[in-house]
Amino acid sequence: MEALKRNWLKFSESKISVIGLVIVSAFLLLAIFGKYMVPYPEHIGSYVDFANAGLAPSSKHLCGTDLMGRDIFSRIIGSFRNTLLMGVIVLCISAPVGFIVGVIAGYNKGKLIDTVLMRITDIFLAIPPLVLALAIASVLEPNLTNSMLAITVMWWPWYARLSYGVTSSLRSENYIIYAELVGAKLPHIIFKEILPNCLSAVLTKMTLDMGYVIIMGATLSYAGLGEQAPKPALGSMISSGVKYMPGQWWLTIFPAIAIILIVLGFNLLGDGISNMLGTEEN
Amino acid sequence: MIWAGIPPIFFALLLGVLGAMYNNRWPDYIIRFSSYIIIATPAFVWAVLFLLIFGYWFPILPSIGGRISMGYSVPPVTGLMVLDALIDGQPAAAWDAFLHLLLPSLALALGHTMQEARLTRSYMLENAGKDYITMITSQGVPREVINRQFLLKPSVIPTVSIMGLDIAAIFGNAFLVETIFNWPGISRYAMNAILGKDINAVCGVVLLLGVIFILTNLLVDIVVIMLDPRMRQSRSK
């Protein structure tokens, strides 16, 4: 409790990371309960109301309506759940996979398995990530699950590299050598001795990566490889609005602002957390 | 596409140095605050916003359609439109081709520029607290000379190696930005192949971009070794 309070004091030192925390909490709240809070919940799915199509922003429709007559504000909030799901699932799969690969390679540093695992990692790192993700997603059926898969495939090598670096420097520490001497099993060494030392680095990277994963997901969805219509996704809302741009600018501008705000929130929060953990180490 | 790699090199360093020199005064605040928002904006959103702002609301820059306006004919020599026009002695055509380059490259480069500016700033500030800077300051060396000769170089080296990695993101984002600006490049070709499920073409482009990326990083490593005497020493051992 005392440690929590001290961390909070350190975190709230910088006002800008508190702003990030506020944005992220609002986003999480809207992602979970948004469906029950929006003014027009039925507009989130397939719904047609041509009488109100293409209306400019007004007090009735905060962000205007699209060409099917659906309220854009409701659709933006409705897409938050998938945006959040994208970030959480990608990171929750790629971080443990990368961690295990990195730890096994780093623990057996210099042996054959180290070479094999890290060269495989290098192959994934050698191809620009978004290019690979676009290529993978294009081979598979275009939907949300496959775009998550495509991003996960290119995301784990970074965690492998991170935990490889930490592990190979811990490898020669005395407490690891003693644990081996008393006959500790490999899982014990990995999870009880090495994991606690990697944890703060991995967690910091996860919060910092959240924004990038969301950008990546929006980019795939913009290219038409993410969540398919009529379900809302921020990227595909922008891409479908581009064609009607000078006249009906609200089709693109408001989803774009939503992406910028969400990513900004996660980046500010991540910076705050990495500052907090960084100063604690010193 | 490659042009987008050039503006960050200059502007990132310039902004980073400015931010460090005016640490915690208003230019620093403006650069830091705007960098947060600019980094949070995906490249394709920049492309769309530029199209809206400069294409429709203030149509001062050519935004839609290819590499050069109709009416200019430039014989291909190097394949780079601006250079070809200059070689052929058509400054007007070169300027026109340059204006066509401006928005797509900016859309691709903005986020990285600000990211690298932030890195340069934080490395500058980190190095400014070191003993050797304190020593030359106490010897009465002017501030500008310290910044230029002693502080800039060690702070730039880590930024340069990050720039090599950022090339990868530029390649990826070019897929959408080239499509939005109708730029006839390899990424638009690949994008059409992706949408048409032409898997052989996709594989070819991915492989080619991978090779270019590795070569770029080799180049960056060589530059870093040239800049950093410590790296040279560890090499020769």
Neighbour tally for B223: CB within 10 Å:
15
pLDDT at B113: 82
pLDDT at B164: 80
Average pLDDT, chain A: 86
pLDDT at B77: 63
How far off is chain A from B29, nearest CA to CA, in Å?
A: 12
Confidence band of A117 (pLDDT split at 50, 70, 90):
very high
Q: Locate A19 and state its tokens.
A: 């702003």
Chain B touched by A264 (CB under 8 Å): yes
Rounded percentage of chain B residues whose pLDDT exceeds 70: 84
Greater pLDDT, B67 or B30? B30
Give the range among A121-135, A225-239, B81-95 with minimum mean pLDDT. B81-95
Q: Is the ipTM of this complex over 0.85?
A: no
Is the pLDDT score of B221 beyond 50? yes
List the single residue in A with minimal CA-CA distance to B57.
A246
Confidence band of A281 (pLDDT split at 50, 70, 90):
very low
Is the pLDDT score of A228 beyond 60? yes
User: Cβ contact (<8 Å) for B172 and A219?
Assistant: yes
Q: Write phi, then psi, for A128 (nearest 5 degrees).
A: -50, 125
How far off is chain A from B176, nearest CA to CA, in Å?
A: 7
**B74 class by beta-carbon count within 10 Å (0-12 exposed, 13-18 middle, 19+ buried):** buried
Contact A34, A81 (CB under 8 A): yes
Give the range among A1-5, A79-83, A174-178, B58-62 with minimum mean pLDDT. B58-62
User: Cβ contact (<8 Å) for A259 and B42?
Assistant: yes
Is the pLDDT score of A282 beyond 50? no
Is the pLDDT score of B7 beyond 80? no
A130, B87, B114, B166 from B171: Cα distances, Å: 8, 28, 18, 9
pLDDT at A154: 87
A57, A257, A266 from B1: Cα distances, Å: 36, 26, 29
Question: Which of B24, B37, B44 has the highest number of chain A CBs within 10 A, making it the mutation to test binding with A?
Answer: B44
Q: Any alpha helices (H) in A128-193, and if so which ranges?
A: 129-139, 144-170, 174-181, 186-188
Is the pLDDT score of B119 beyond 80? yes
pLDDT at A89: 93
pLDDT at A10: 78
What is the mean predicted confidence (pLDDT) over A37-46? 82
User: Cβ contact (<8 Å) for A223 and B171?
Assistant: no
Task: Identify which of A17-21, A52-56, B60-64, B116-120 has the greatest average pLDDT.
Answer: A17-21
pLDDT at A258: 93
Which string of DSSP letters, residue by residue, matches B156-204?
Answer: HHHHHHHHHHHHHHHHHHHHHHHHHTT--SHHHHHHHHHHTT-HHHHHH
Q: Which residues of chain A are within 8 Å of residue B168 when distances are taken between CB atoms?
A: 128-131
